[in-house]
Amino acid sequence: MNRVLITGGAGFIGHQLIYRFLRDTDYDVVSLDRLDTSGNLNRIKEILEDNPEWRHRFDFFWHDLKAPLNDTLQKQIGKITHIIHLAAGSHVDRSIEDPMSFVMDNVVGTTNLLLYAKELPEEELKLFINFSTDEVFGPAPEGVAYKEMDRYDSGNPYSASKAGAEEMCVAFCNTYKMPIINTHTMNVFGIRQHSEKFIPLLIKKIRDEEKVTIHSNKEKTKAGSRFYINTDDVADGVLFLLENGVVGEKYNLTGERELDNLELAKLVAKLMDRELKYEMVDFHTSRPGHDLRYALDGSKMKMMGWEPKVSVEGRLLEVIEWSLKNERWLK
């Protein structure tokens, strides 16, 4: 019987992974979370209320990974065959104000999880997937999309701490021959996302006929851009890597195509059949560490046979319709 441990399971991406494992596989799922600013148990609560037949396959444990997993907790968790590590401090502004807390959360926390995984029986642990970020590569010049093994150029303490966590995973794979792979994801959107994030904020402001601020260059002529990817596509990519990923490799999980933030805002307004009121804002000068453009090359995964199955318009429409029916998540 496969049993997957998902750290940060009450988070935005983590809860969608839990849903997909329970829906699409026969895995038992264990969630480990400290329930801080990004963790919200209501996400998991709603999944299990809608699907009570899954309850016997799910366990939740509170733990802060800055501390090692003690013997009692390890016994409670029980046998684990797969680990997906999403738990992390992930707020750029807070990392600039307090870099050490991100070293503790992301570098020390990841190392504590790796030490736990190292002691699992070799015949039981099949794969450890670490979630890193596109931001480890730094800002992408126009026309450049970073491949998995390109050099790092962290633009803020958050991305540096994620790069450090990723390198610890590489080191444990090389030193202890552990079955580890790393993924890089770009800006993720989907249902039950925190309302402060750009897409739910867009939906709320367009619904309420409020002005939207668009992250732009200093001259306020060009909006920042990203390859937005839906949580369901991220989960789909993870399930694909469970079967097709190669130990020691890195993989970019990237969206269908690049959109700048003004294009995205106009697309959301169009799908909502509403007018867009917006203002271009010089975001980088006022908030250093936030880069105008990030970009990942998704060709490696595409050559292996994976890419997002639904267009970004289709995914946005799903999220808009769900959010307007579940407005408590827009508050």
Catalytic sites, residue numbers: 134-135, 158
Q: How confident is the model at residue 134 (pLDDT cuts 50, 70, 90)?
A: very high
Of the chain, the end-to-end C-alpha distance in Å amounts to 40
Residues 73 and 172 placed together within one structural domain of the fold: yes
Pairwise CA distance, residues 25 & 6, whole Å: 15
- pTM as predicted: 0.95
Q: What is the mean pLDDT of residues 262-287?
A: 88
Residues 209 and 143 placed together within one structural domain of the fold: no
- Total domains in the chain come to 2
Please report the pLDDT score of residue 154 as a whole number: 94
What would the two tokens of residue 163 be? 């790069």
Q: Domain of 148: which CATH number? A: 3.40.50.720
What would the two tokens of residue 297 be? 């090359």
Q: What is the mean pLDDT of residues 135-144?
A: 93
DSSP string of 316-327?
HHHHHHHHHHSG
Cα–Cα nearest to 118, from 166, 174, 163, 165:
174
Relative to beta strand 58-62, strand 212-216 is unpaired
Centre a 10 Å sphere on the Cβ of residue 180 and count the other Cβ atoms it contains. 27
Residues 34 and 169 placed together within one structural domain of the fold: yes
Burial (CB count within 10 angstroms: exposed 0-12, middle 13-18, buried 19+), residue 120: middle
Q: How confident is the model at residue 58 (pLDDT cuts 50, 70, 90)?
A: very high
- In the chain, pLDDT over 70 holds for what percent of residues? 98
Pairwise CA distance, residues 83 & 60, whole Å: 14
In Å, how far from its chain's centre is CA 63? 19
Cα–Cα nearest to 167, from 143, 149, 144:
149
Q: Domain of 290: which CATH number? A: 3.90.25.10
Please report the pLDDT score of residue 217 as a whole number: 85
Residues 247 and 320 placed together within one structural domain of the fold: no
Centre a 10 Å sphere on the Cβ of residue 307 and count the other Cβ atoms it contains. 18
Residue 221 belongs to domain spanning: 193-226+257-294+310-330
Rounding to the nearest 10 degrees, give the CA dihedral for residues 220, 222, 223, 228.
-170
Whether residue 286 is predicted with pLDDT greater than 60 in this model: the reply is no
Radius of gyration from C-alpha coordinates of the chain: 19
Residues 155 and 220 placed together within one structural domain of the fold: no
